[in-house]
Amino acid sequence: MVETASEAIASAEQATALLAIHNLHVQTAEREILKGIHLTIRPGEIHAIMGPNGSGKSTLAHVLAGNPGFTVTVGSVFFNGNDLLAMAIEERARAGLFVAFQYPPEIPGVNNMQYLRTAVNTVRKSRGQSELSAAEFLSRVRTILKELGMPEEMVRRSLNEGFSGGEKKKNEILQMAMLEPRLMVLDEIDSGLDVDALELVARCALRVFEDKRSERSLVVITHYSRILRYIKPQYVHVLADGKIVESGGIAVAERIEEKGYG
Amino acid sequence: MAETPAVQEATLELHRIPNGAMSKESKLLVLKDNPHFVLPESTQTTETVAFQVSGKNCAFIVLPETAAKQAWHLKAGCELDCFFLARGFTATTEVHFTLEPQSRLRVFSLLEDCNLNWQAKAELAGEAAAFFYGLTRTAGNAQTKIALVVKHSGCGGTSEQRFFSCASENSAIEFIGRIVVEAGATGTKAHQLHRGLLLSPGARIAAEPILNIFHDDVRCTHGATIGFIDEMALHYLMARGIARAKAEAMLVAAFAGQFAALLPDEAKTFYGFESSDH
Amino acid sequence: MVDATVAELGGGYKYGFVTDIESETLPAGLTEETIRKISALKDEPEFLLEWRLRAFRAWQQMKEPHWAEVTYPPIDYQSISYFSRPKKKLKSLEEADPKLLETFNRLGIPLTEQKFLANVEGAEVNSRPLTPVAVDAVFDSVSVVTTYRETLAKLGIIFCSFSEAVREHPELVREYLGSVVPIRDNFFSALNSAVFSDGSFVYVPPGVRCPMELSTYFRINSANTGQFERTLIIADKGSYVSYLEGCTAPQRDENQLHAAVVELIALEGAHIKYSTVQNWYPGDAEGRGGIYNFVTKRGLCKGAYSRISWTQVETGSAITWKYPSCILKGDHSRGEFYSVAFTGNYQQADTGTKMIHLGRNTRSTIISKGISAGHGRNTYRGLVRIAQSAENARNYTRCDSLILGDRAAAHTYPVIDAKNPRAQVEHEATTSKVSDTQLYFLRQRGLSEEDAVHLVVNGFCKEVFRELPMEFAVEAQKLLEISLEDANG
């Protein structure tokens, strides 16, 4: 009874892990994209998920976030012991899951700062924390802006409207830092960033992780290994055609950098 | 002056239209893979001429004095380019296109100095695509009216309208372009653009870009501008030593060039534009 | 996705209560006698009665227009009462029927001179200072009180009810009444000219910048009563005034007619800013009841360098049919129109503007945002006309529609008519829905679906809201949120 044994392991993992993915199959209207993913992430860990285009990396991020465009046909995902797949998108966010989007949408007319304050206070309230005062909020935002090398003018503009690719990515990390999540999933955060911006973004993400290392985990989804120079993962998983085909340490990423996915 | 391409033999059959959509005397022409179809003399009638199109076709239509009413039906998977040309005519033309899913229609029209009422309607069922491109030029006392309706009645259709109007002396151009998206036409993309260029104080251009949208999951845009020759561009050319009149002429030609740029090469000579082959 | 959110909450129309107050109401019906009675009740000078009668005769020959993209059963003009006012006549506010005061209290309208609307929220707006607002409160057919009159009088500003203006400043009324909206302009303006009961009158003398917002608050209370107010604002040379109007009505199953006329006149260098937050009872979720809001609003930029700005947030009424317009006669004059129109449930709105460019170097800007939800029908109808004399005229128009739910509809009928080769007219329009990606993104940051929809819709309306005076901007935003929640019954 292989199934029972693996389910027994799965339930044991659910108890201790921050994220426990078991035999996850996912499809869109057209085709199956993820074909049985198993992954366990514990607090304090950094994981990298690598793979060529079309391997399903971004799909994994979308499924964790709850994107309605994807259907889970088989499998389970537990987040901090709770059934993630049964939770609404915003419940997942409030429970501490943050997914930095590969392509954050532009939302015209919505002031970035006001939006961020609404999001932060909504999430804090749901966690039983007090709302941040305007002064406290502003001072935190300013600290992070500085850390990311973002001009303050960026938060006075409409959300992502007219932002360059790099500015959008920095804005994602700003939101992440303010929302204080437990599991941070960075979906191709390195695409569209120059070397300097990449370093700032990576250092900020790492700082947020280190702030509460005992509670937080970081998942870096990437095609290239250059971001892993700044964020050193303990675990590297290689995704190909909807399955994890290899898991190992940083050496896996080093080999990919040298030889490609071949 | 335009060179008319040689008439190519079309599979020409005369039919009665069974559903009574047109009068009993209507003619039905079946077009299949005609790269150079020119409307035959026999179709110069006040009756409706119906076309049924499959395969890939190009139709060159020089509007006659008494312009035919035309009904075009595009079968699934077919492609049709229609090139309308009218110079100095007084008439009313009605052209009606119906598109089956997966068909693709492009309609080009060059209307010059016409007292013309050009009415066109396209109905798209499902994932069909219709593109209308037009250049209208008037001078003297000519009055040209264009009324175009593009109706999306199925999911996933695409349509575009781009019209350029240029009126001088005491002439007038009126452009009424309507996009209708019926309930349930999910994923429709429709775009409409009208640019007007007024060249003299007695001229008039009116544009009515109308949207009637009965569904939420659509993306429709329209834009319309009316103005004079770009003063900045004019001054720039004059600063390079070009006389005002010449500079103006160049910019008017450039305005028309926006239409010419949309034309496939084989139609450029038909309309009298320089072919890009030269 | 949006549908579910919109349907979830049912806030209800907050202002649907009826005040039980003793009124004297003319019996239903409209004859020459009715008009003589209204004029007599108001003790009007002869010229005005004559004017009304001329209008009535014109109206009798006119036909109700039906070109708008709205449908409603025929209106029986003989079943409407054309005049209703609280019985007790007021000498001062202290004498007012407490029920009347209570009514305006419940509506949040201060009839005493005090700090206005202290409950302002929102980080962004906090930086703008609160200014006092002078209020003219109109209850059914009459103005019940006008505040801050003495303060304004010191600057020579006249702010009073229309009836009072007729008594105190007949020369101004005579000169300007009907000068922008002639009696025969349209069916409803003719009707209004015949039977109008009250409204506001503003005159700002040359060079005076009105230090506070002037505001009229309209309340329909009585059943089977039409409201026909008349507003006339004259800004003399180099003056500035910002005027606001708000309106509510009780929840009733029958439709009620509101046919107002507003005329603005801006002389040389004057600027009039006219803002409306229209919240008449919209009818219930099945489309029963609600106000027919058939209004004619027009401004004349008479002098050079004058400017008229219309800003409207239309969330109420069963049917809205109005086109606040500008006639840009003075050289270098400017006309502006900023509009948010929301239609939910079975509401219908056919609204827009006309910008008539006559003078040289005239400029106009049109920003229209239409939102349809439920079975709502929203139409933008606009006309930009550049006359041959309007050398160098410029217009920019942007009209966007947002459709929430698959039973709503949006229409756009802009007409551009240019006769001057030195003119420049630009028009842009889009129709779209709240994108799933935007909602997904916002929910991933912890916002609920409703909050995400509100945020996107508010963002959509931002360009218009920022044109409103601060207090109104906050009110408009809240109103829109409530309307969104109620939109699907």
At residue B172 the predicted structure's pLDDT band, cuts being 50, 70 and 90, is: very high
Residue C24: which pLDDT band, with cuts at 50, 70 and 90? confident
B165, B243: one domain: no
pLDDT reported for residue C362: 97
**Structural domains in chain C (count):** 1
Distances (CA, A) of C183 to C55, C161, C296, C350: 6, 21, 11, 22
Percent of chain B residues past pLDDT 90, beyond the cut: 36
- Cβ distance B88 to B115 under 8 Å? no
> Is pLDDT larger for residue C101 or for residue A253?
A253
The pLDDT value given to residue C249:
67
Neighbours of chain A (3+ CB pairs under 8 A): C
The stretch B185-214 carries a mean pLDDT of 89
Q: Do B225 and C413 touch (CB under 8 A)?
A: no
**Dihedral, CA of residue A68, residue A73, residue A79 and residue A81, to nearest 10:** 140
- pLDDT higher than 80, residue C13: no
CATH number for A250 = 3.40.50.300
Strands C200-204 and C158-161: antiparallel
- B222: Cα separation from own chain's centroid: 17
What is the rounded CA–CA span in Å between residue B127 and residue B43? 31
Are B167 and B255 part of one and the same domain? Answer: no
* Orientation of helix C32-41 relative to helix C187-195, angle to 10°: 50
Q: Can you give the residue range of the structural domain that contains C420? A: 16-438+465-475
pLDDT for C421-434, tens place per residue? Answer: 888 888 888 888 88
A122 → closest Cβ in C435, C437, C446: C446
Per-residue confidence (pLDDT) for residue C337, from 0 to 100 = 96
pLDDT at C290: 85
* Residue of A92, A114, A158 lying closest to C124 (CB–CB): A114
Closest-CA distance of chain A to residue C443, Å? 5
Residue A6 predicted with pLDDT over 80: no
Domain coverage including residue A33: 2-259
Residue B21 lies in a domain: no
**Helix axes A112-126 and C449-465, enclosed angle (nearest 10):** 160
Shared-domain flag, residues B117 and B166: yes
Least Cα separation, residue B238 to chain C (angstroms): 18
Q: Tell me, what's the pLDDT at A260?
A: 85
Note whether B240 and B124 are same-domain residues.
no
Quick check: C6 pLDDT over 60? no
For residues C408-420, average pLDDT? 88
Least confident of A113-127, B24-38, B195-209: B24-38
CB B248 within 8 A of CB B217: no
Domain match, B128 and B166 both = yes
For residues B205 and B257, membership in a common domain is answered with: no
pLDDT band at B6 (very low <50, low <70, confident <90, very high): very low
Spatial neighbors of C113 by CB under 8 A, at least 6 apart, are C132, C147, C148, C151
Same domain assignment for residues B179 and B212: yes
Q: Do B211 and C424 count as a contact with CB atoms less than 8 A apart?
A: no
Where do the DSSP E strands lie in C111-212? 133-139, 142-146, 158-161, 200-204
Tell me what the pLDDT averaged over chain B comes to: 82
Q: Residue C9: inside a domain, yes or no?
A: no
* Residues of chain C positioned with their CB less than 8 A from the CB of B209: 412, 414, 427, 429
Q: Is residue B6 part of a domain?
A: no
**With touching defined as 3+ CB pairs under 8 A, do chains A and B touch?**
no
Identify the bridge partners of residue A99 per DSSP, sorted by sequence position.
Answer: A185
pLDDT above 50: residue B277 = no
Contact C84, C24 (CB under 8 A): yes
Q: What is the pLDDT of residue C91?
A: 54
Candidates B204, B213, B223; nearest CB to C419: B204
How many domains in chain A? 1
Are C418 and B199 in contact (CB < 8 Å)?
no
Instruction: Using a CB–CB cutoff of 8 Å, tell me whether C417 touches chain B.
Output: yes
Range of the domain at B158: 27-228
Percent of chain B with pLDDT over 70: 84
Instruction: With a cut of 50, say whether residue A127 has pLDDT above it.
Output: yes
Residue C141 banded pLDDT, cuts 50, 70, 90: low
Selected residues 217-246 of chain B with any CB under 8 Å from a CB in chain C: 217-228
- The upper half-sphere exposure of residue C475, i.e. CA atoms within 13 Å in the direction of its Cβ, equals 25
Quote the pLDDT of residue A247.
93
Query: Which residues of chain B lie closer than 8 angstroms to C366, CB-CB?
Result: none
- Tell if the CB–CB gap between C426 and B224 is shorter than 8 Å: yes
Average pLDDT over residues A220-229: 90
Count A/C contacts: CB-CB distance under 8 Å. 86
Pair C401, B213: CB distance under 8 Å: yes
For residue B4, pLDDT over 50 is answered with no
The answer, yes or no, to whether residue C116 has pLDDT greater than 50, is no
Run of H or E including B278: none
Report residue C245's pLDDT band, with 50, 70 and 90 as the boundaries.
Answer: confident
The average pLDDT across A77-89 equals: 93
Please indicate, yes or no, if residue B95 is contained in any of the structural domains: yes
Q: How many domains does chain B have?
A: 2
Would you say residue C118 lies in a domain?
Answer: yes
- pLDDT class for A10, splitting at 50, 70, 90? low
**Within a domain: residue C457?**
no
pLDDT in the model for residue B93: 85
Helix (H, G, I), strand (E, B) or coil at A220: strand
A65: left (phi > 0), else alpha (psi -120 to 50), else beta?
alpha
| Banded pLDDT at B250 (limits 50, 70, 90) | confident
The subunits that touch chain C, with at least 3 C-beta pairs less than 8 Å apart, are A, B
Q: Are strands C255-258 and C200-204 parallel, antiparallel or unpaired?
A: unpaired
pLDDT averaged over every residue in chain C: 83
Residue C289: band (very low, low, confident or very high) from pLDDT cuts 50, 70, 90: confident
H/E stretch holding A52? none
Q: What is the average pLDDT across B198-222?
A: 87
Tell whether B5 is covered by a domain: no
Q: Which two tokens stand for residue C489?
A: 């019954």
Q: Which residues have C-beta within 8 Å of that of residue A132, sequence separation ≥ 6?
A: A117, A120, A121, A124, A140
Query: Is residue B1 a part of any domain in this protein?
Result: no
Nearest CA in chain B to C433: B216
What is the chain C residue with the closest CA to A160?
C438
pLDDT band at B36, cuts 50/70/90?
confident
Q: C246 lies in a domain?
A: yes
- Is B3 a member of any domain? no
pLDDT bin (cut points 50, 70, 90) of residue C9 is: very low
Query: For C421, which of B203, B217, B225 is closest by C-beta distance?
Result: B203
Greater confidence (B16 vs A90) lies with: A90
Angle, helices A195-211/A134-148, rounded to nearest 10 degrees: 130
Q: Does C2 touch chain A (CB under 8 A)?
A: no
Contact yes or no for C100/C86 (Cβ under 8 A) = yes
B152, A59, A95: which is closest to C446 by C-alpha?
A95
Contact criterion met (CB below 8 Å) for C122 and A111: no
Same domain, yes or no: B161 and B235: no
Task: Name, of A53-57, B174-178, C301-305, the range with top average pLDDT.
Answer: C301-305
Residue type, C41: L
Q: Both tokens of residue C228?
A: 């026909």
Looking at the structure, tell me whether residues B62 and B117 fall in a common domain.
yes
Check whether residue B175 and residue B53 sit in a common domain: yes
Q: Is B105 among the domain residues?
A: yes
> Which 167-206 residues of chain B touch chain C by CB within 8 A?
183-184, 196, 198-206
Whether the per-residue pLDDT at C11 is higher than 60: the answer is no
Residue C7 domain flag: no
